[in-house]
Structure 1
Amino acid sequence: MPHYEIHHICGLDYDQKDQLATDITNLHCTLFSTPSAFVNVSFQHHPPLAEYTFFVGGKRRATNFIHAHLRPRGPDNAPKLQHLVREIMRIWDERAHTESSIWRNKDKGKDEGRLDDHRALHNVFIYEDVAAGAEQGFVLPVAGQEGEWVQENIEAFKKRAEMGDESVKQLLLEVGDGLGKKEEIKEGLGKEV
């Protein structure tokens, strides 16, 4: 349903990519009650200033950024989207902006988002631009109607799971546990969502 595009100039190893993808997937599933089988995360490595051209302030820059494409949710979800941005920044900081960063200062911590820090996350943009789509053979529901959509498709999910579809087996487990029920993240939302 969503697609998180992670564009990076700094090297990320397989473990870092796995951790980023898992953390972002869990965050999205918890905030929006989305089955994890439908959360997409892709990585695109761009060599610093080699052939990649990205401009900030009219100057060529090498940057790390994340663009998330979500289904429209309306103005009432603005606090939830702001929380999503802050959490993505925190996740990047924990998983990719490591202690080896040259901009970490033991007295000041680190300067987040610096353009001259090749490991910093420079921007996160959330686009609510997925108007409609299909994934794994299922037409996607309107945002906020995932529960009804699951019930409408439950027999097809069960059939696919019986035929060995691992992602749909995982979806059925998540439905059984209750979509979006990761309490540790929900507790962190407080009253802002």
Structure 2
Amino acid sequence: MPLYQVEYTSPLTRSEKNDLAASITRIHQSAYGAPSIFIGITFKDISDVEYYAGSKLVSMNTILLYLWRRSSYNRIFAIVRTGGSRTVADFNKLALALSEAWDDIVVKNDVTIGRAERNLSGVFVLRSIESLMEHGLLLPEVSRCLKISTTCGIPPSADVDIE
């Protein structure tokens, strides 16, 4: 259901990715009650992404230094479903929790690169999933979805091994 996209220019270790995925899952579960199997998380190194400012190709490093006076750009996109009783305040709490998780896992434990390069530049919560078809199933609206998952025997805290 939700999709979290973690994009980074400062390298992440496998352990950091594992810990971030676990934290993001816990955060989403506690906020919205979704079973862990439905929470998707991707990681993408964007350090070599081609970036255009207007119609001009500009290197990511040039953009980072010019606009943000930074040497890295690490960000999390939370793409979540609309509906239910979710408010802007709820999504602000989500953004803060994601930022704190990044700080605890990536920034505070860093001993090699330096904290400034490891900081999280932004969290973007996008309420953009109006309709969702996943694995051939058209999912019901948020309020009905939680009722269905619990009646199907999938508790929100269920960890399902899909390997």
TM over 0.5: yes
1:120 deviation in Å? Answer: 0.4
List aligned pairs for 1:81-160, cutoff 5 A.
Answer: 81-97=91-107, 98-100=109-111, 102-103=114-115, 117-150=116-149, 154=152
Shift of 1:180: 6.0
Unaligned runs of 5+ in 1: 104-116, 155-171, 182-193
Describe the shift of the 1:128–1:145 C-alpha distance in structure 2 as closer, same or farther (beyond 3 A).
same
> What's the counterpart of residue 20 of structure 1?
20
Alignment check: 8 A CA contact 1:3 1:39 kept: yes
Unaligned runs of 5+ residues in structure 2 are: 52-59, 159-163
Letter of the 1:87 partner, please give it.
A
| Conserved 8 A contact 2:2-2:80 | yes
- Cα 1:57–1:118 change in 2 (3 A) is closer
Partner Cα separation in structure 1 for residue 66 and residue 86 of structure 2: 34
Q: Which amino acid aligns with 1:102?
A: G
Would you say the 8 A contact 2:36–2:157 is kept in 1?
A: no
TM-superposed CA distance for 1:139, in Å, is 1.9
What is the aligned-residue RMSD (CA, Å)? 2.7
Q: Could you tell me which amino acid in structure 2 is paired with residue 136 of structure 1?
A: H
Q: Contact 1:8–1:63 (CA<8 Å) still a contact in 2?
A: yes
Aligned residues: 144
